[in-house]
Amino acid sequence: MEQKKQFAYFEGKFVPLEEANISIMTSGFLYGTAIFEGLRGYWNERREEMYIFRLREHYERLADSMKIMHMVDLKYSIDELCKLTIELTRRNAPRGDTYIRPTIYKAAKQIGPSLLNNPTEMCMFTVPFGDYFHGVDGLNVQISAWRRVEDNAIPARSKIVGAYANTALAKTDALAAGFDECIVLSENGHVSEGSAMNVFMVKRGRLITTPSTENILEGITRGTIAEMAEAELGLKVECRQIDRSELYIADELFFCGTGAQIAPIISVDRRPVGDGKVGPISDKVRSLYVSICRGEIPKYSKWLTPVFNREAESLGKTAGKPAGTSCS
Ligand code: PMP
């Protein structure tokens, strides 16, 4: 079957993907001074529809990252960013799960990292995207010897491209040592997050996750779980510092993120988590999350933006941080 022509959004225009190229002198490439979002579109075969998950919330977070990185000269409203994302996805017309990657970058062609007098530009592409962890059900993870970037070094709450060198080192060493993933600690020794996902611990029927002050990216999936866990599963969610050794004696552990979705952890540093199998609560959270994302639970359709029908014009009806959660 002939591959449909793919488009990108690049510096103000939709262009064929192969024409969306930056110069090797671009500031964002030379210094990592770019920020991004990673969104997922979930394909619903029965309805022949693509649902973008929490579209608006991703752009609210992007706007925060832009503020931190002196990128507010790029004048797109959140509504415009949502519209561009829907339009690009429509043009590329995927018929399967899709990853959508907008990047905002410093575009001056000059030596020197200053963010001032350095125009900001934007690009976006879509690619087919299935499971992040291929062929593994429960993950074997290690505590990384690397530490998470500190807020006063590179703020982790902003999705800054340069900070992903930290992620890359941690992830690579975990894979090289034969693990599937890693958990990274902050300089203070407390748990921060996974390489590109947040962590939840289950202990005595409670869900516990690390606070936003622990150098984490404040994940949209994390907020989603915090919002629905009590309503749907009757689980209390607590947000507090987690010690490394608490991981070794947790009843269950799982990662969550746009890419990883819900990924149960079955061992940490070669110590089995619980009985070393995917735990029942992690499994329930995982099934519920997938059903929500695919548009199978009407109550949560507020989190989905359909791409191919006119409802898409409503641009993802939720706004702001998830309500009713003690987890920030
Ligand atoms: N932490 C990091 C470092 C990430 O890159 C991601 C993925 N965006 C997450 C956590 C999870 O965030 P979200 O649920 O918004 O995808």
Q: Is 192 in the pocket of ligand 1 (CB under 6 A)?
A: no
Residue 137's pLDDT is 86
Note if 277 is an active site residue: no
Ligand 1 midpoint to CA 249 (Å): 25
Kindly name the residue from 4, 106, 159, 299 that is annotated as catalytic. 159
pLDDT band at 4, cuts 50/70/90? Answer: confident
139-293 falls under which CATH superfamily? Answer: D-amino Acid Aminotransferase, subunit A, domain 2 (3.20.10.10)
CATH of the domain spanning 7-128:
3.30.470.10
Band (pLDDT 50/70/90 cuts) for residue 255 is very high
pLDDT at 24 over 80: yes
Atom of ligand 1 nearest to the CA of 258: 16
Q: Which amino acid type is present at position 241? A: Q
Quote the ligand 1 centre to 275 CA distance (angstroms).
Answer: 28
Domain with CATH 3.30.470.10 in the chain: 7-128
d(CA 45, CA 86): 18
pLDDT grade, residue 318 (50/70/90)? very low
**Least reliable range by pLDDT among 60-69, 192-201, 244-253, 312-321:** 312-321
Kindly state if the Cβ of 220 falls inside 6 Å of ligand 1.
yes
Q: What is the mean pLDDT of residues 313-327?
A: 45
Parts of the chain belonging to CATH 3.20.10.10: 139-293
Q: How far is the CA of 96 from the centre of ligand 1 (A)?
A: 22
| Residue 135: pLDDT band with limits 50, 70, 90 | confident
Copy the structure tokens of residue 117.
């007098």
Percent of the chain, pLDDT > 90? 91
Q: What global pTM score does this model have?
A: 0.94
Tokens of 264: 């149960």
Over the stretch 183-239, which tens digit does the pLDDT of each residue have?
A: 999 999 999 999 999 999 999 999 999 999 999 999 999 999 999 998 999 999 999
